[in-house]
Structure 1
Amino acid sequence: MHEDVAVVIEDGEDIRELLAQVLTQGGFAVHTASDGATGVELVREHDPIVVTVDVNMPGIDGFETARQIRSISTAYLVMITARGDEIDTLVGLQTGADDYIVKPFRPRELRARIEAMMRRPRSLASSHPSAAHQQAAVPASASEPVSLATAPVSTAAPGMTTPGSTPWLDEDSDAAPLEHRGLRLEPGARVVELEGAEVELTRSEFDILRMLLGSGRRVVSKLQLAGMLRGERGEPDHYLSEHDARAIEVHVANLRRKLGESPSEPRWIETVRGVGYRRTA
């Protein structure tokens, strides 16, 4: 039987073995490396679906390793680090990482985040030739499903959009393009164009933009955006952690930078203080 492949790039032996164990239990065939250069070669050789990268490594660091991986692979990429500074999160997500976990982390949390990523399309627009991979199936697991839910909390205000009831989460290749002020997003092709020129976005940036453009003028909360990135349907049932909120803010900041938009004079994305974001009028 064919196994999905994962690559673990981590210089700490204990953490490397833990990551390999978690992924193996999740149904992956796991290859490990203790440095970035070796890890990049493993990615090139095995074409994994999931890659975890430690930020602090000898030789080339995790950020450069992630950049090199993203240039040759559409793997789901998780940055793992002992540092929690916002600048590290920013750099990690700018390299094309799909998620960012700070040590110490719970194995169940890592597993839940990876399973959530794998419910989203693997292909990226404006990527390398192998970017036409189809959406990966979540590996079978002998263990019980895991969840990041801690306490059921509803933060939706009147007039807010509910992700499960709207078309932007449906990965339908025939979905109609979304257009707003010279910006065009094609859901099926996962392509974004600004005034006819293609804009290269990460998977998370694309999904956030699609959700905002598809919401009309309704407010989309950070909790809903975080839930969407995890592949959740319906009203999110988990609380918004500080990590989640910061990651959403960084994704939106990166998205604005690539579109050339000023937060103080937004052309496409308005900030609704204390709540989230919405499309401009």
Structure 2
Amino acid sequence: MMNARTAVVVEDDRDVGDAISQLLDLAGFDVVVAHTGAEALALVHEVQPDLVTLDLTLPDIDGVEVCRRIRTTSDCYVIVVSGRTDEVDRLVGLEVGADDYLVKPFSMRELQARVAALFRRPRTSDVMGVGVEQPAVADARTDPTPGPTRALGCSDLTLDRSSREVLVGGEEIDLTRTEFDLLAHLVSNPGVVVARQDLMRAVWASDFVPDSTHVVDVHLANLRRKLRRAAASNEWIRTIRGVGFRFDPCCP
């Protein structure tokens, strides 16, 4: 199909891989399957997919390292699908760039819901009407961030929603989709304290969100680290203890 989205399913369990492949195929994806980390990296480089489902337990390269390498060349959506249930595994997966983390065993309906939630996020390269069917609730959760947002205070931070670019001092900052979406939502509410739960609803755009709001802290820590490397003195994102986060356009 000319306009179909493409997915790479990375799974060493062939039965699970076949089940995920069938689900995504029915949802309108062109699906290719990898059973090893090396094969997955080669396929991601070759087909430039829109979505990757990634098992962490692979026979050659650990899935966390596979995710880290994918993020150096692709901004596709990545859903980790793993039998590792410890919170530290979830956090590590998210720290290296995964957009979501699904623990085995899981239902195919939950996977479908999570994929649909990811594709409701703004994405300039999307072809409308293709891929996972999008529930009507998506319209009520559209990111309210305006177009180009410039001159945000004493430091030069530029966020352009249409091109999904963030510039600090004129230099582009390389953010993951989740990091950009979190920053965009905070920038659209300057000076307002946004609770972690509200950030999760706005960015994940689904009732099927990660179990712990600590996921938000992990992504925001990565975002702050990248902004700080570009402008060491910036304090644009403030933590309001016990509540959430606030974007201050004028830092001291």
TM-score past 0.5 threshold: yes
1:76 aligns with 2:77: yes
Does the C-alpha gap of structure 1 residues 52 and 180 become closer, same or farther in structure 2, counting only changes over 3 Å? farther
Match of 1:116 in 2: 117
Does the C-alpha gap of structure 1 residues 105 and 274 become closer, same or farther in structure 2, counting only changes over 3 Å? farther
Does the C-alpha gap of structure 1 residues 113 and 231 become closer, same or farther in structure 2, counting only changes over 3 Å? same
TM-score, structure 1 as length reference: 0.74
Q: Report how far residue 119 of structure 1 moved.
A: 2.1
Which residue, out of 164, 167, 173, partners 1:199? 173
TM-score, structure 2 as length reference: 0.82
Does the C-alpha gap of structure 1 residues 72 and 253 become closer, same or farther in structure 2, counting only changes over 3 Å? closer
Q: Secondary structure at the match of 1:44?
A: helix
Cα pair 2:9 2:54 within 8 Å, conserved: yes
1:251 aligns with 2:225: no
Match of 1:45 in 2: 46
Cα pair 1:8 1:52 within 8 Å, conserved: yes
Segments of structure 2 that go 5 or more residues without pairing to the other structure are none
Segments of structure 1 that go 5 or more residues without pairing to the other structure are 124-133, 148-162, 233-237
Identical aligned residues as a percent: 39
What value does the CA root-mean-square deviation take over the aligned residues? Answer: 3.0
Does the C-alpha gap of structure 1 residues 194 and 32 become closer, same or farther in structure 2, counting only changes over 3 Å? same
Q: Secondary structure at the match of 1:5?
A: strand
Q: Secondary structure at the match of 1:242?
A: coil
| Superposed CA offset, 1:142-167 (max 9, x none) | 8x9599xxxxxxxxxxxxxxx85973
Does the C-alpha gap of structure 1 residues 114 and 137 become closer, same or farther in structure 2, counting only changes over 3 Å? farther
Give the letter for the 2:144 counterpart. P
Match of 1:10 in 2: 11
Cα pair 2:97 2:176 within 8 Å, conserved: yes
| Superposed CA offset, 1:82-130 (max 9, x none) | 223343233322332222222222222211111121122446xxxxxxx
Cα pair 1:122 1:136 within 8 Å, conserved: no
Alignment of 1:75-154 (within 5 A): 75-122=76-123, 134-137=125-128, 139=130
Q: How many aligned positions are there? A: 242
- Give the stretch that moved more between structures: 199-208 or 180-189: 180-189
Q: Report how far residue 29 of structure 1 moved.
A: 1.9
Match of 2:183 in 1: 209
Match of 2:56 in 1: 55
